[in-house]
Amino acid sequence: MPIDLDAARKVALAASDAARREILPRFRSVAVETKSDGSPVTEADRAAERAIREVLAGFDPEIGVLGEEYGDDTGSRERYWVVDPIDGTIAFSRGIPLYGSIIALVEEGRSVLGLIDLPSLGERLVGTRGGGAWRGDQRLRVSEETDPRKAIICHGDLFAFDFFGERKAYERLAAELRMLRGYTDAFGHALVIQGSAGAMIDLALNPWDVAATECLVVEAGGRCVTVDRRADGRKLGLVFGNEALVEFLLERTGIA
């Protein structure tokens, strides 16, 4: 049965509201732990994911959830939610407001809804397949700047390039681009989707890091290339932005 994407969008917004209520009171006032994979986690991450899951379950308990903190209960279902309660926990845990919450809906292997919320900045991007990408009542478009010498190009952390086996790709970009900037995580993704930055290369990602962006960039008129190296244990990579800059990045880095 086809899903009502407008109804799904409304429940994703409600889930994001619930997450904000858990996150904002804990910002700059929460203890940090280290997970088994070496990444940081806080009670805000866990509380926000619990709150998101509760709201999403009220919409349709038959739709599973793949979440960073509480795992995968999607089974073999063709339709499921993907959740990252705090993307950028390093920033959050150090009092930096450039973190976000991510919610996406995947149907038959394709993201049909994406939401990136930036709680401390009071901004939220949401979109559905065929319905555009929006920040409030403003429809979003990727940047029209196609000259890589003038565009802001975002990238993730350098260790992610190393993990992905692409240190030389970073070095080529750093040598050539005037405004290669490390706006990481969901914040960097949001900059590209809303047209503030021209493109981004983000590597060594998990499914909950990419699902919303895969939908939102396309709905903002851009291109999103997903590079899957999970077979080699290197996770996922994204190259996204306007068509011209994505082509430039793919050509210069050889990542595909």
Q: For the segment 60-85, what is each residue's pLDDT rounded down to a tens digit?
A: 999 999 999 999 998 878 999 999 99
User: What is the pLDDT tens value at each position of the chain, 256 positions in all?
Assistant: 789 999 999 999 999 999 999 999 999 999 999 988 888 999 999 999 999 999 999 999 999 999 999 999 988 789 999 999 999 999 999 999 999 999 999 999 999 999 999 999 999 999 999 999 999 999 999 999 999 999 999 999 999 999 999 999 999 999 999 999 999 999 999 999 999 999 999 999 999 999 999 999 999 999 999 999 999 999 999 999 999 999 999 999 999 8
Q: Which domains does the chain have, with CATH numbers?
A: 5-129 (3.30.540.10), 153-253 (3.40.190.80)
Q: How far is CA 18 from CA 12, 48, 56, 188, in A?
A: 10, 7, 11, 23
Place of tokens 């681009």: 177
Measured distance CA(149)–CA(36) in Å, rounded: 41
**Tens digits of residue pLDDT in 105-129:** 999 999 999 999 999 999 999 999 9
Using an 8 Å Cβ cutoff, are 153 and 245 in contact? yes
Torsion sign over Cα 151, 215, 132, 126: negative
In sequence order, which residues have a C-beta less than 8 Å from that of residue 174 and are 6 or more positions away? 180
- Interstrand relation of 138-139 and 153-155 (parallel, antiparallel or unpaired): unpaired
